[in-house]
A = this chain, B = another copy of it.
Amino acid sequence: MFFASDNAGPVHPKVMERVIAANTAHQMPYGNDTIMDEVRERIRALFEAPQAEVFLVATGTAANALALACYTQPWQTTFCSKVAHIQEDECNAPEFYASGAKLTLIDTDDKMTPSALDAAIKGQVVGNVHAAQPGAVSITQVTERGSVHSLAEIQALTAVAKAHSLPVHLDGARFANAMVALDCTAAEMSWKSGVDVLSFGGTKNGCMGVEAVVFFDPSKAWEFELRRKRGAHLFSKHRFLSAQMAGYLSDDTFAEIAVQANKNAAYLAEGLGKAGAGFLHEPQANMIFARWPRVLHQKLHEAGARYYLWDGPLDGPEDEVIAARLVCDWSLERSQIDTFLSHF
């Protein structure tokens, strides 16, 4: 009954197999391994982007911060949701990697609206030397609240960015979960909708620790390589990053894993709904934000369930309603979910 995060689950067997298979003899280090050639071609094909440049790093924060740094000058500001991972969960990594650039937060509890984004960009007046200048726009898909932007929603946001000539980054730590939820192609959910650079997540979706940064504009490639090394994120035994990503991509394993995770969440959400739990956000991928009384929470915790208390004080009256965040990864079994629900 582990719902604390999808970053705590095991590595999918198909990913692990490739890691083990990669452990033979010597391979050229620092990204010059032959498996990386396979990964690059596979991602270009998946995204229908033969010119795309592809790089691997081991953490989502590294993917986001390095990708954004390539599109942000130190005197600029990146526009994002107030609840974006780059704002709330990366301990100033984006500011660090962009040499002290700012984040401008769009006031929302989930998705940015195009009008709020437009107003925020207009608030940073181009040519006013006293103010941070507009930099990149960063969108999170799946959002940190478990919502999925429709393609039209992404396009509406990127259209605002383009109207101001700003580049667009997509934080796709859960890209696969969103893609299968929308039943669209990788290209449709990225460059065809106006995305310039993508953090394509693997870790939360069954890998060990690998994220691809995909530049649809290849002109940033060398800068990224230098920033990655300077950030200490270039692996000598890079083949083990490549191998994870190769396993993740082969046979559409990434989609298969995401489908399983989303299904687990849908099953859990259905059960919770039937049990009378309220939802803070509509669950659209593999994350659920729900409410129930503290007394039930205590019972669940004692039974071994693990999830984050999302809102409200840890202590309080037993009948107080708390909010919980539950994340499902692919490895959860129906029986675990059934056991969890049996306590309601």
Contacts and interface: CB of A to CB of B under 8 A. Distances in A.
| Copies per complex of this chain | 4
A171 interface: no
A234 B62 CA distance: 10
B91 A130 contact: yes
Contacts of A331: 25-26
A140 interface: no
A106 interface: no
A27 to B, nearest CB: 6
The 10 closest A-B pairs by CB, nearest first: A7-B236, A62-B232, A95-B100, A2-B26, A61-B232, A99-B99, A91-B229, A75-B226, A96-B100, A89-B130
A23 interface: yes
A98 B232 CA distance: 13
B16 A20 contact: yes
A267 interface: no
Interface in A201-240: 203-204, 208-209, 223, 225-227, 229-237, 240
Contact of A95 (B88, B97, B101): B101
A148 B102 CA distance: 28
Among A76, A103, A226, the one with the most B-chain Cβ atoms within 10 Å of its Cβ is A226
A291 B5 CA distance: 53
B5 A29 contact: yes
A167 to B, nearest CB: 18
B231 A131 contact: no
B235 A209 contact: yes
A59 to B, nearest CB: 5
A235 to B, nearest CB: 5
A303 to B, nearest CB: 15
Contacts of A77: 92
B29 A11 contact: no
A193 to B, nearest CB: 26
B93 A232 contact: yes
B229 A130 contact: yes
Contacts of A97: 232
A223 B23 CA distance: 35
Given A99-B100, A209-B240, A89 B11 contact: no
